[in-house]
């Protein structure tokens, strides 16, 4: 039997537009497909519970897709460098191929693995599957990395259209052969799913992880959402955004596929989207790219303020306030709806992520890192680049941050982006009977109107945890003390 090729899957759990998979198929050798759950290597940030749930199902889908081609997905647990060393020792492969990742711990492991394998005279190659452009490819005119989104996105576009996606291979050689990797386990043995209690019912109802689930979701978005994107993407009460973020995070679909499918849908008339809708949507993929560009510059971005003057910020270690926020019990309906959407479905609409994050940081003066951590544990799309970059952006501590004095008013934001209150009603059942004109500030209504809606403030739904005007003043004072012009 010819030597096999090891394909090491990571954040690229798909067969289409997967350069490592395409190269393995081209080589015509039997394929040993491997996934390593690595919570052990130095600096690795273990995945949160919601991500683990997603990962289990994404791996199950990949396992089934590969099996149709006669390839067996083998999963293992442990420090990736050791697992790969064992696999290479046992299989004496012709090559080991993978697609790149960009977090610091991942880069360190991959660099070591590549050196180990090459030292044995075996081919080890990596590719780009998860970004439109490599983080180091996008540069200012003077050749420097960029810190602000608009110039970044202009510079990225100068590089031209992202490459067209690769098709999924038709066949792999050596179908049915099983180059066994030492220490391989069953997927269930990774214990990625929650048990006792099984809290994943809401996630199961909301999502279909896997490559075909991603494709279906993309098709639906191109048909129904894209044409409303430019004007409707800020409306959490509508289904106008793609919701592709978890599939993009785990790589069951890649951004090149999404980019080109959106362009083709507009050209062919399959979507009634305008050029503005398309540009706006692609620019959001651009924010994902920008987050990775920042992570490349600042590998410690999830823990360390990009603007170091924020190190002196007087955060309040208010555990009660943090818990009220986490549980969706702040008394501000739009914030609570968002936090409960997150808890039940593992996802939150972007506009509401901004409102909820701003509320934690600026109204409650809780350190943004605690919010980032909560999102890391509860989001199915929890991403090392986008989560950290977005939290720093909202905090004002980031590279291209929202101005520090921008303090979202959760009442006005709710009234503007959820005007009929449908989003709030969907996730805050206590407020289901409350009419639109008072749903974003139930405390301002007469006792009579509230009681007609079945609400008793402080009993069936909390009173605001803090008054908006008081919180705003307190936040501005704290932020002023940082000397904003002294960056």
Ligand X SMILES: Cc1cc2nc3c(=O)[nH]c(=O)nc-3n(C[C@H](O)[C@H](O)[C@H](O)COP(=O)(O)OP(=O)(O)OC[C@H]3O[C@@H](n4cnc5c(N)ncnc54)[C@H](O)[C@@H]3O)c2cc1C
Q: Which residues carry out catalysis? A: 284, 287, 315, 350, 368, 391
Asked if 378 is part of the footprint of ligand X (rule: CB under 6 A), the reply reads no
Q: How many CB atoms lie within 10 A of CB 152?
A: 23
Q: Judging by DSSP bridges, how do beta strands 73-77 and 95-99 pair with one another?
A: unpaired
CA 131/CA 256 separation, integer angstroms: 7
Q: Cis check for the bond before 223: say yes or no (omega within 30 of 0).
A: no
Give the torsion sign (CA, 107, 167, 60, 374): positive
Does 386 participate in binding ligand X (rule CB under 6 A)?
A: yes
CB-nearer residue toward ligand X: 285 or 295: 285
Parallel, antiparallel, or unpaired for β 31-37 and 95-99?
A: unpaired
Our finding on whether 370 is near ligand X (CB under 6 A) is: no
Of residues 267 through 286, those in contact with ligand X by CB under 6 A are 284-285
Q: Is 409 in the site for ligand X (CB under 6 A)?
A: no
Shortest spacing between CB 204 and ligand X, in angstroms = 19
Residue 60's Cβ-count burial label (10 Å; 0-12, 13-18, 19+) is middle
Question: Does residue 11 bind ligand X (CB under 6 A)?
Answer: no
Compare residues 10 and 353 and give the one whose CB is closer to ligand X: 353
Q: Indicate whether 262 belongs to the interface with ligand X (CB under 6 A).
A: no
Calculate Rg over the CA atoms of the chain.
Answer: 24
In this structure, the chain runs to a length of: 487
Task: Tell me which of 35, 325, 375, 408 binds ligand X, using CB under 6 A.
Answer: 375
User: Is 130 a binder of ligand X (CB under 6 A)?
Assistant: no
Q: Which is nearer to ligand X, 310 or 391 (CB)?
A: 391
Residue 471 in contact with ligand X, rule: CB under 6 A = no
* Residues 156 to 175 in contact with ligand X, rule: CB under 6 A: none
Selected from 155, 354, 365, 431, the binder of ligand X by CB under 6 A is 354
Is 381 among the residues that bind ligand X (CB under 6 A)? Answer: yes
Q: Considering only residues 73, 124, 265, 357, which one is a binding residue for ligand X as defined by CB under 6 A?
A: 357
| The binder of ligand X chosen from 131, 132, 364, 379 (CB under 6 A) | 379
- Determine if 326 is a binding residue for ligand X (CB under 6 A): no
**Residues numbered 170-229 forming contacts with ligand X, rule: CB under 6 A:** none
- Does 380 bind ligand X (CB under 6 A)? Our answer is no
Q: Which residue has the tokens 């003066």?
A: 365
The residue among 30 and 225 lying less far from ligand X, judged by its C-beta, is 225
**31 or 337: whose CB is closer to ligand X?**
337
Determine contact, residues 16/147, Cβ cutoff 8 Å.
Answer: no
Using CA atoms, how far residue 478 sits from 23, 362, 405, in Å, is: 55, 9, 10
Nearest to 479 by CA among 413, 412, 373, 402: 402
Residue 196 DSSP SS3? coil
Tokens matching residue 111: 């660099």
Structure token pair of residue 288: 């994902």
Q: Which parts of this chain interact with ligand X (CB under 6 A)?
A: 233, 241-245, 248-249, 284-285, 287-288, 291, 350, 353-354, 357, 375, 379, 381-383, 386-387, 390-391, 394
């Amino acid at each position: 039997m010819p030597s096999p090729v090891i394909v090491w899957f990571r954040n690229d759990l798909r067969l289409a537009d997967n350069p490592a998979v395409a190269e393995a198929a081209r080589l015509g050798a039997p394929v040993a497909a491997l996934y390593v759950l690595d919570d052990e290597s130095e600096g690795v940030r273990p995945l949160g519970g919601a991500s683990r749930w997603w990962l289990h199902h994404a791996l199950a889908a990949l396992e089934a897709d590969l099996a149709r081609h006669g390839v067996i997905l083998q999963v293992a647990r442990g420090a990736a460098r050791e697992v790969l060393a064992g696999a290479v020792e046992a299989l004496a492969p012709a090559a080991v191929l993978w697609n790149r990742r960009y977090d610091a711990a991942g880069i360190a492991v991959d660099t070591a693995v590549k050196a180990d394998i090459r030292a044995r005279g075996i081919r080890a190659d990596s590719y780009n599957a998860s970004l439109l452009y490599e983080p180091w490819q996008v540069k200012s005119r003077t050749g420097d990395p960029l810190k602000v989104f608009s110039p970044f996105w202009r510079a990225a576009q100068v590089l031209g259209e992202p490459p067209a996606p690769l098709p999924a291979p038709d066949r792999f050689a050596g179908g049915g052969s099983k180059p066994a990797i030492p220490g391989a386990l069953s997927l269930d043995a990774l214990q990625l799913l929650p048990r006792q209690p099984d809290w994943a019912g809401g996630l199961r109802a909301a999502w279909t992880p896997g490559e075909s689930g991603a494709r279906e979701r993309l098709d639906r978005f191109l048909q129904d959402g894209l044409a409303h994107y430019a004007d409707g993407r800020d409306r959490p009460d509508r289904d106008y955004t793609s919701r592709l973020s978890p599939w993009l995070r785990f790589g069951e679909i890649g951004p090149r596929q999404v980019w080109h499918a959106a362009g083709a849908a507009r050209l062919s008339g399959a979507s009634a989207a305008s050029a503005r809708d398309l540009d706006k949507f692609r620019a959001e993929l651009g924010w994902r790219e920008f987050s990775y560009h920042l992570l490349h510059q600042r590998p410690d971005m999830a823990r360390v303020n990009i603007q170091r003057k924020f190190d002196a910020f007087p955060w309040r270690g208010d555990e009660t306030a943090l818990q009220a926020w986490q549980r969706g019990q702040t008394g501000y309906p739009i914030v609570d709806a968002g936090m409960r959407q997150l808890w039940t479905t593992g996802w939150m609409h972007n506009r509401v992520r901004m409102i909820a994050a701003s509320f934690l940081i600026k109204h409650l003066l809780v350190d943004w890192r605690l919010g980032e951590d909560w999102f890391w544990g509860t989001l199915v799309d929890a991403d090392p680049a986008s989560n950290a970059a977005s939290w720093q952006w909202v905090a004002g501590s980031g590279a291209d941050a929202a101005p520090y004095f921008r303090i979202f008013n959760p009442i006005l934001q709710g009234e503007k982006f959820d005007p009929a209150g449908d989003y709030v009603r969907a996730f805050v059942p206590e407020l289901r009977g409350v009419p639109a004109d008072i749903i974003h500030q139930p405390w301002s209504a007469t006792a009579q109107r509230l009681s007609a809606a079945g609400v008793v403030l402080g009993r069936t739904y909390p009173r605001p945890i803090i008054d908006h005007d008081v919180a705003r003043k307190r936040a501005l004072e704290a932020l002023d003390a940082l000397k904003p012009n002294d960056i």
